[in-house]
A and B are shown apart, each in its own frame.
Chain A
Amino acid sequence: MNAWLVQHGKALKWALQRLMAAPTNTLLSLIAIGIALALPAGGQMLLGNALQLARNSSNINATPQISLFLSLDADKKTADNISIRLRNHAGVKQVRFISRDETFKRMQSGENLAEVLAALPRNPFPDAFVITPNDDGPAAMEQLRSEFRNWPKIEHVQLDSAWVRRLDAMLRLGRTATALLTVLLGLGLVAITFTTIRLQVLTQRAEIEVSRLLGATDSFIRRPFYYFGALQGLAGGAVAWLIVLGVSGLLNRPVAELAELYNTSVVLQSLTTGESITLLALAGSLGWLGAALSLRQHLKYPD
Chain B
Amino acid sequence: MIRFEHVSRRYPPGIDALKDVSLSVAPGEMILIGGHSGAGKTTLLKLIAAIERPSSGTVLVRGQNVGALKPAALPYLRRNLGMVFQDQKLLFDRNAFENVMLPLSIAGFSPKEAGKRARAALDKVGLLAREKALPIALSGGEQQRLAIARAVVNRPSILLTDEPTAHLDPETARDVAAILRDFHQVGVTLLIATYDDALFAAFATQRLILSHGKLPT
Contacts of B72 in A (CB 8 A): 217-218
Given that A3-B108, A3-B110, A303-B71 are known contacts, is A215 also in contact with B89, CB under 8 Å in the complex? Answer: no
Contacts of B109 in A (CB 8 A): 3
Contacts of B174 in A (CB 8 A): none
Q: How far is the CA of A216 from the CA of B76 in the complex (A)?
A: 8
Contacts of A209 in B (CB 8 A): 89
**By the criterion CB–CB under 8 Å, are B83 and A213 in contact?**
yes
What secondary structure prevails in chain A residues at the interface with B?
Answer: helix
Closest CB of chain B to A205's CB: distance in Å?
11
Residue of B whose beta carbon sits closest to that of A206: B91
A10, A212, A303: the one contacting B105 at CB < 8 Å is: A10
**By the criterion CB–CB under 8 Å, are A215 and B75 in contact?**
yes
What 1/0 mask marks residues of chain A from 209 to 228 whose CB sits below 8 Å from any chain B CB? 11111111110100000000
**By the criterion CB–CB under 8 Å, are B111 and A215 in contact?**
no
Residue of A whose beta carbon sits closest to that of B80: A215
**By the criterion CB–CB under 8 Å, are B89 and A210 in contact?**
yes
**By the criterion CB–CB under 8 Å, are B102 and A213 in contact?**
no
B68 within 8 A of A: no
B85, B91, B92, B106: the one contacting A215 at CB < 8 Å is: B106
**By the criterion CB–CB under 8 Å, are B102 and A211 in contact?**
yes
B96 within 8 A of A: no
B178 within 8 A of A: no
What 1/0 mask marks residues of chain A from 1 to 21 whose CB sits below 8 Å from any chain B CB? 011101100100000000000
**By the criterion CB–CB under 8 Å, are B107 and A215 in contact?**
yes
Closest CB of chain B to A214's CB: distance in Å?
5
What 1/0 mask marks residues of chain B from 63 to 105 whose CB sits below 8 Å from any chain A CB? 0000000011011111100010100010110000000001101
Q: How far is the CA of A209 from the CA of B106 in the complex (A)?
A: 13
Given that A6-B108, A6-B110, A7-B108 are known contacts, is A214 also in contact with B102, CB under 8 Å in the complex? Answer: yes
Q: How far is the CA of A263 from the CA of B89 in the complex (A)?
A: 75
Residue of A whose beta carbon sits closest to that of B108: A3
Q: How far is the CA of A131 from the CA of B105 in the complex (A)?
A: 70
Given that A217-B72, A301-B71, A303-B71 are known contacts, is A211 also in contact with B106, CB under 8 Å in the complex? Answer: yes
Contacts of A207 in B (CB 8 A): 91
Contacts of A4 in B (CB 8 A): 108
**By the criterion CB–CB under 8 Å, are A214 and B108 in contact?**
no
Taking CB atoms and an 8 Å cut-off, the chain B residues in 13-45 that contact chain A are none
Contacts of A303 in B (CB 8 A): 53, 71
B51 within 8 A of A: yes
Closest CB of chain A to B187's CB: distance in Å?
21
Q: How far is the CA of A104 from the CA of B106 in the complex (A)?
A: 87
Contacts of B75 in A (CB 8 A): 212, 215-217, 220
Contacts of A214 in B (CB 8 A): 78-79, 83, 102-103, 106, 150
Taking CB atoms and an 8 Å cut-off, the chain A residues in 288-303 that contact chain B are 301, 303
**By the criterion CB–CB under 8 Å, are A2 and B110 in contact?**
yes
Can you report 9 residue pairs joining A to B where beta carbons are below 8 Å apart?
A: A206-B89, A210-B102, A212-B75, A214-B106, A215-B77, A215-B78, A215-B106, A216-B106, A217-B72
- A3-B110, A207-B91 known; 11 other A-B pairs, CB under 8 Å? A2-B110, A6-B110, A7-B105, A7-B108, A206-B89, A214-B78, A215-B76, A215-B78, A215-B79, A215-B103, A218-B72
Chain A residues within CB distance 8 Å of chain B: 2-4, 6-7, 10, 206-207, 209-218, 220, 301, 303
